[in-house]
Structure 1
Amino acid sequence: MDELEVSSPNFNVERMTDGDLVEEHNVCCPVCDTDYEVETVNGLWGITANIDGNDINIDLEPDYDDYEDYLLSYEPANNVVGAFEKSETELLDLLTNSNATPTSVLNRMIYSQLIATMEAYLSDKILMLSTEHDAIKRRLIEKADFIRDKTLKVTDLLLDPEKAEKTFKLGLQKLLYHDLERVEKLYNVALAEPFWPANPDVKIELEKAVLIRHDCVHRNGADITGRIHSFDESVIGTLAKHITDLVEHIEDKAECSIQKIKMAATAQTLSAQN
């Protein structure tokens, strides 16, 4: 056994695999004096190691400071909807131009990635809303479960006056945005408006899609019975439409919520002047 120091991956890349950091380490066996060359790969998915192409077991003591620094410095796109639409269009274009079979890895990937674009939108939108509107941030602080049970020592706040703000931002970004039940509660609190569109199919089908995506990621595209999921253009197109319906609904409700906040602020100002 030996201890190795592994450098951090690059968190600023667009594709997760582009951030992988590959390093070579020389390890000498203390018993037989044999020298080994160990390759480590540290990426956003975690750390792996191998000797001559053979995986080896490793015990990890990860340092999360770099990742938390990345989350604290992260700013959502100025046009959250535009970023979502661009990603969705590129995925659907890839589907149209590929002529891949419904059970292909490519179609499975496109299906899964569409849900990832939904997650990215939901995460960026709530972060942007809470950053730009104090009333929305206050609602989340007072009622949302991700921050409600957090405790900070007075000494921590005195040493770092921004500690509370950092705790809020980290908590918001570390949520799993494919957990739609929890995300629904989060948005209901933030906007004081319904998260789901009136069409019940959107909720039903997206909740199903998240479970299917889990099979794609963790079971190589098969359900618990071993049946392989199939994703033809109709299935993927329907998923994209439901996601778009949700995004458009949230944009509409966010605008309604912001207008109510502005009206309330104006009314309060007029009352104070009188």
Structure 2
Amino acid sequence: MEAYSDGVASIRHHETGRIYEIEGDELDWEIVDGDERQMGPEFHHEAVFEHPELGKIVWGLWEYPVGVENYRKTDAGPHEVVEDLDYGLIHTRDDSDDWFEPPPPDDPFMVFMDSYHGSSDLLAQSGSDDGGHLVNRLVFSHQVTALEAYLGDTLKNEVFRDRQAMQRLIDRDSDLKSRKFTLAEMAADPQLIERIVREHLQGIMYHNLRKVDVLYGIALEFGILNLAADKDSLFAAVLLRHDCVHRNGSDKDGQELKVFTKTFVQRTADTMRDLVQGIEQAVLARRTPPSATP
């Protein structure tokens, strides 16, 4: 089972009375706690959203016994939940599903750089100085997606290349360390641990840069955000891509966004390229053993 959230939550600020909206697909769920009880394990699923005006809003689901929703709670602090999200538990795919995720490429860095150069060429040739131009938005969205793919593919490659990195992830990631298996399950599937880790990494939303920063810090022992020259522009780019993909280039109020000039799109792409180059250098450095002292 995994948690899902759909729809829009409307929350009224306790002081100003203004109503703010939070969309379900903006939430990232994780298992934050687990406990063994009479009928098996209990899992606590949680999604935390940091709103600039409302502060921290927390959605919680308790699964007990496994596969059954036992309790749910929305904590908006002092604010009023006018209308809540549609959220709950849903069955995940199993081995009988007729699709699979292909393995990551051997060299995610080269894939990203090819995408960077190709999209930059397209922007220069077919883009416009008009900040609402369709080609500009398409290039911008593609570039953010390329960054997400690089972050995910690189992490997966390194975790499965380095057994210690995988063990750190198992020991310290809140979702993985709460998983419990019987000896029978482990005996029936010798690759159980690797499969669970792979499925977990495949399910990460790699546009959640703060979460990805934590995962890199755990597994690879370096964060990604401290390698970024301009973190704010990266966070903004993720939100703007959401508006491009889900609202056709308009904000929550339906106003068309006009920020996607050729200069803005290329500058953002260069910021992402610089981040990827910094990550790649850190990855290569951790692969290279320190030189022996003569």
TM-score (norm. length: structure 1): 0.67
CA distance in 2, matches of 1:77, 1:173: 14
Count of aligned pairs between the two proteins:
202
CA distance in 1, matches of 2:174, 2:227: 25
Q: How does 1:148-167 map to 2 (within 5 A)?
A: 148-167=177-196
Aligned partner of 1:114 among 143, 146, 152: 143
Task: Give the corresponding residue for 2:20.
Answer: none
Task: Give the corresponding residue for 2:272.
Answer: 243
Identical amino acids, percent of aligned pairs:
28
Task: List gaps (5 residues or longer) in structure 2.
Answer: 1-89
CA contact (8 A) 1:140 1:190 kept: yes
Note the alpha carbon deviations across 1:188-238, whole angstroms, 9 max, x for none: 11221232245552x111001101111111122111233222211111111
TM-score (norm. length: structure 2): 0.62
Moved more, 103-112 or 236-245: 103-112
CA distance in 2, matches of 1:133, 1:200: 28
Is 1:65 equivalent to 2:100 in the alignment? no
Which structure has more helix as a fraction of its residues?
1
Note the alpha carbon deviations across 1:41-98, whole angstroms, 9 max, x for none: xxxxxxxxxxxxxxxxxxx999653668623xx3222221110011111111111111
AA matched with 2:240: I
CA distance in 2, matches of 1:68, 1:148: 29
CA distance in 1, matches of 2:225, 2:163: 24
Q: Residue 152 of structure 1 aligns to a residue in which SS?
A: coil
Task: Give the corresponding residue for 1:257.
Answer: 286
Larger Rg: 1
Task: Give the corresponding residue for 1:87.
Answer: 115
Q: Residue 208 of structure 1 aligns to a residue in which SS?
A: helix
Is 1:129 equivalent to 2:158 in the alignment? yes
Runs ≥4 in structure 1, deviation > 3 angstroms?
60-69, 197-200
TM-aligned CA distance change 1:232 to 1:253, over 3 Å:
same
Is 1:215 equivalent to 2:248 in the alignment? no
Bigger relative CO (Cα 8 Å, ≥ 6 apart): 2
The Cα shift of 1:248 comes to 1.0
Which structure has more strand as a fraction of its residues?
2
Give the root-mean-square deviation of aligned CA atoms.
2.6
Q: Residue 65 of structure 1 aligns to a residue in which SS?
A: coil
Task: Give the corresponding residue for 1:181.
Answer: 210
CA distance in 1, matches of 2:120, 2:112: 12
Is 1:103 equivalent to 2:104 in the alignment? no
CA distance in 2, matches of 1:88, 1:67: 34
CA contact (8 A) 2:172 2:218 kept: yes
